[in-house]
Structure 1
């Protein structure tokens, strides 16, 4: 039972098991309001009835939920050899999750939706054949495992009525990788180093036990890894006395041996830092976070305001300091779970064998405070997040706070500037839901900024071409369709499914978007990985407006397929991130795409028409703005070949030769748009526009596409500088930029 609280702030639902042989149920003690009732049972698809009105001291009856029997899935588990051979005794499992929202593994998790997991597990017979019964309709993932083989996975679409076609699951043995780990400085073998693959637990066909343990080098520094998935995969080397190191991607082939050779492990450098308060005294217990080539780490300052990170791999790191204070309760908080504070960030370069110093000094600043209300009533427990919106300053500078029982928040010690404000609600599931976004400017004094939560609604229905309701379609709000980089879309929540402004259709194909922020927007409807395409519609919404009858019709889908490989060796990439824009520049698809061992990828749920495709694979240069025309329903082939790309190293100096830190460096394409930089496993910030010079006035970015670009460099107090540059393929370009101060430059 999803009750009135589940639709608004606070959440609320009830459960009851039904033991009556006639399937009848009764529940008492419900609060008055509108309730949704959903029935779940093993072997059946879930059934839901929405909008049941419950009144005080009134008995509501006649609620009927009809469950449909699940489907039967048959198949066979075979080897990757030619011809394939059956694998008897293989374990075959299927996650038979049932959900009100029909959770789609290829899409983002929908916060606040109820999930029921009833896995089905069987063993294959002597001919490798298996039968799974009672499978719920929707997108399902079949997983097969057998000792000595990599995990095999196949996604299927189970129809509401009838059974799907038989499935063949192929298990591979993978490749063998050998090598030796040696100290970079002393050239001595390193025993006890841990060798693993990146994204432990994420590579889909990785055997679970291998992922958990990795392998350890012997006394001679040698190692052997078995059952490594085919593809271009780097190795991660870790040892307590050395910096973590990631090798170049290795081309792993099925049934073959790959020699990684000698891998030299650096001892690394270190970062030592200090935090001063507004009164120039040491700040103890300040939170310090680090992100860079070594991944992410956290620490706190000691009683002297000092912190340190050691054995860091050479490269650029982002160091952020979070300082509490300025709240209404003890210690600057608002009670349990509350708190407020400001954040400062710096970019630091670590060099082998050297110590880099970072100093955070908090100048006396201003305070942003206010009250958050919902229909005039204060809301407790919401998180207020600030980030400096100025392009001339590194992102991450800002602060956060939680509202107290009176809906009040306060964030102190803020520098002048324009800040992005996000109001979020925590969820029992992962992450939170953003309820409102806005901007506020702080100039020369404290600012009071009250926030009223949005309460506009949009509702309608989604049907197919035959006029039948489409259940489980996701309706998302897109705020801006101007062509922008992916990092801008994600930072603003403009992509599909961002924030709270999304909903799923029920069994009648109906949806309701609640708490929609007013303004101009585009609605995007997609069903996910099935036979439907998508549809968009532009609307305008006023504050508090209830917009009804916004209906959609989903036609037959087109499928995009092909091979995603490295151009250097033809080996498949493990996965890539895709951004697909339609002819109106609306981002209709943004998600990770998995690639199988043969290098094949499949993307369903697309429409006919002109599209623009950008693809990003870890360790490779992105593929930008590839023109793609989909003629109509059916399969369209598009192969993607990823290059390593080039490296850009920029040094920024002032007129007198002084190095300029915290200068913003942007790489622009021919249309003046900033390039999106590829996501990186170890430094997630690479996915965003965080390209700033470090303490040495230097900035380096790898995996840029080869070609001619415009380099734009900006810094507060200096004039903007632009230069035309050429990035070589598989090479490095060094650029020296000289900035002119605003107060001394001539005309």
Structure 2
């Protein structure tokens, strides 16, 4: 702890080390100073800024305070790194006083969301509230209307109470990280408050992934809804080797296809058999592994119907080995290096650390081509190598060398001041390379070991949600300055009929000409309208942007905004129309109803109007309330099916959609093997239409990167295809194929 004069001293540190220092004190925002050299000599000075307080009031439609209202503050931290999107949510709660007033103290700067409710009132939210650094936020009002309460019991198939089931309303908007809801008690009873009237799906989910859902008409006041789990069915199968010999002691997991994690686990018997009891109908991936064998590159997918599933067979093949040596860094840094390998086609991966000589060994690998990546995470450095694994042959040998590539360094400033502790991420546009760094207290960053090429550069401040995007060219070692502008896009949104301001409208900016659902859903440039319908989106760069709006019960809209010369554009006033949207009734190829689906709604030009991953209600019903009136092409799929393309008219009756089987297509361009150059893959169906898959967040994807000459598509419906691969230097290859 620091003394009365603010001084502190930390002893017994390695003089050759570089350390990070975290400092916190009540009433001040915590800060971290990174990259401190212990041998620096002079004392370190750390400046703390005051933390913030947020105060407000929950009121009814008459403007009077609602006593004892519950208020929930949510902070969402998101970023993209290496092509992956990440989201974390933290939630804190407060209770209003007799006049509905609430307060949150000790807040860090950044965007937060507020939700308020009270017994008998509908839950209301205000999103994207900016908490300025070192400033308080006061005078917020959250209006809530009289609403509905749903109560009831959750019961198992034998009528015993389902204890601890998570009960929540089915969202009509994409929700990648759901929070809230209620847990059933020891008698299976639950209570959901803060709901509005109308048709709503209510789901209950057990910890093992089993789900049940009912769609009900909710009226103001108290509603009684009981939820019943089905008895479940049996899934039986066996794990064998490539000679059809049973494998005892293999680990098997039955994972719901809608979730990339979790699911019950078993160990196979002496005859290689396994069984799961009480399994809910649905789509599952069967994962299996055993020491000495490679995990299946593509986990088998099964449909579990009313009769269960039997005869499931998982084949494991003997695994191969990759051995390697890492060079180009000091021996003392070997513990910081992480090595990971990825198979060219499928889901296979493996990881290892380094020994004291800088060597590593990756075991139980499937035969075929692998990309090996060694990462020095503390500096965002990485080096890659290729390996060909032959399980019947000797270990594949690779040499990984740091320090062989180019270096991009520079400084990041915002409004002329250094931006400290921000992530600078680089993703190759025409090369299969990436890297990242964190800015120090002076705003400086350094990314090493880059291949020559063009990169998407993203600056992300985790604490505030600030994002800056640009394209950079790295053809030699380079030092650059990144000046994040202070341009703001402002406006007001009203109802198209009565011209009254609309609160709670989600407003996002995405680069024009892109279907960037990650930006749309993760909120890189986003705001929510206040009680006067006004919004502000800050730190926007020059360029052409699409301003998008989304609110339940209203048609999603899109408008072009152009920013030039670092000047704020004129405020916008947008009038949005109420809409009934579109309803889809989804069913899997097996006749089972899916739990969720990824969806994109496209206009005639192929631009995405709505995109996301949506949960379904009873009998696979999916409500897309933001689809405007008109004709639309909808892409829809689940993790285990092919893409369905359907034309719909909004408004209109519910449309039944039977999702197709999924087929796979592996692409191999031998001429690109071992090259760092990225190629682009496009594909057309038998009628010549461009084919699109759906990304993690439902964004339509019409082209794919081909690294080292190989790629794989796993969500094609059966049929004929024309494939084309092109590189930035003008080379191209084409072929035809039929998938079944």
Query: TM over 0.5: same fold?
Result: yes
Question: Could you tell me how far 1:478 is from its partner in structure 2?
Answer: 2.1
Match of 2:426 in 1: 386
- SS of the residue corresponding to residue 606 of structure 1 reads coil
Q: How is 1:606-625 mapped onto 2 (pairs within 5 angstroms)? A: 606-623=627-644
| 2:604 aligned with 1:583 | yes
Once the two structures are superposed, residues 531-550 of structure 1 have per-residue CA deviations (whole angstroms, 9 ceiling, x without a partner) of 33211111212424154233
Take 2:512 and 2:246, find their aligned partners in 1: how far apart are those partners? 55
Take 1:524 and 1:165, find their aligned partners in 2: how far apart are those partners? 36
* Structure with greater strand percent: 2
Verify the 8 A CA contact 2:167 2:190 in the aligned structure 1.
no
- SS of the residue corresponding to residue 496 of structure 1 reads helix
Verify the 8 A CA contact 2:683 2:722 in the aligned structure 1.
yes
- SS of the residue corresponding to residue 497 of structure 1 reads helix
Residues 377 and 606 of structure 1: CA distance in aligned 2, closer, same or farther (over 3 Å): same
Once the two structures are superposed, residues 545-593 of structure 1 have per-residue CA deviations (whole angstroms, 9 ceiling, x without a partner) of 1542332313213223032422xx5555564422222234331222224
Match of 1:554 in 2: 577
Moved more, 134-143 or 502-511: 134-143
Take 2:249 and 2:129, find their aligned partners in 1: how far apart are those partners? 61
Match of 1:334 in 2: none
- What stretches of structure 2 of length at least 5 have no aligned partner? 1-26, 31-48, 56-92
- SS of the residue corresponding to residue 440 of structure 2 reads coil
Take 2:558 and 2:267, find their aligned partners in 1: how far apart are those partners? 52
1:707 to 708, 711, 720: 720
Moved more, 140-149 or 406-415: 140-149
Match of 1:519 in 2: 543
Verify the 8 A CA contact 1:425 1:435 in the aligned structure 2.
yes
1:220 to 239, 261, 271: 271
Residues 377 and 155 of structure 1: CA distance in aligned 2, closer, same or farther (over 3 Å): farther
Verify the 8 A CA contact 1:79 1:171 in the aligned structure 2.
yes
Match of 2:474 in 1: 442
Once the two structures are superposed, residues 139-171 of structure 1 have per-residue CA deviations (whole angstroms, 9 ceiling, x without a partner) of 977344799994313477978xx3597656453
- SS of the residue corresponding to residue 318 of structure 2 reads coil
Question: Could you tell me how far 1:634 is from its partner in structure 2?
Answer: 4.1
Q: How is 1:501-650 mapped onto 2 (pairs within 5 angstroms)? A: 501-527=525-551, 530-542=552-564, 543-545=566-568, 547-566=570-589, 569-572=590-593, 575-594=596-615, 598-623=619-644, 626=645, 628-630=647-649, 632-650=650-668
Verify the 8 A CA contact 1:384 1:400 in the aligned structure 2.
yes
Verify the 8 A CA contact 1:323 1:341 in the aligned structure 2.
yes
Question: Could you tell me how far 1:384 is from its partner in structure 2?
Answer: 0.7
Verify the 8 A CA contact 2:258 2:638 in the aligned structure 1.
no
Residues 88 and 627 of structure 1: CA distance in aligned 2, closer, same or farther (over 3 Å): closer
| 2:266 aligned with 1:189 | no
1:343 to 372, 378, 382: 382
Q: How is 1:133-144 mapped onto 2 (pairs within 5 angstroms)? A: 134-137=193-196, 142-144=202-204
Match of 2:738 in 1: 728
Match of 1:369 in 2: 409
Question: Could you tell me how far 1:133 is from its partner in structure 2?
Answer: 6.1
Match of 1:335 in 2: none
Verify the 8 A CA contact 2:663 2:716 in the aligned structure 1.
yes
Equivalenced residues, count: 645
> TM-score normalized by structure 2?
0.72
Once the two structures are superposed, residues 317-353 of structure 1 have per-residue CA deviations (whole angstroms, 9 ceiling, x without a partner) of 44322246xxxxxxxxxxxxxx533334456554444
Q: How is 1:396-407 mapped onto 2 (pairs within 5 angstroms)? A: 397-407=433-443
Question: Could you tell me how far 1:618 is from its partner in structure 2?
Answer: 3.2
Take 1:53 and 1:381, find their aligned partners in 2: how far apart are those partners? 18
Verify the 8 A CA contact 2:258 2:596 in the aligned structure 1.
no
Moved more, 41-50 or 602-611: 41-50
Match of 1:277 in 2: 328
Verify the 8 A CA contact 1:91 1:144 in the aligned structure 2.
no
Take 2:560 and 2:51, find their aligned partners in 1: how far apart are those partners? 30
- SS of the residue corresponding to residue 456 of structure 1 reads coil
| 2:470 aligned with 1:417 | no
1:463 to 476, 481, 494: 494
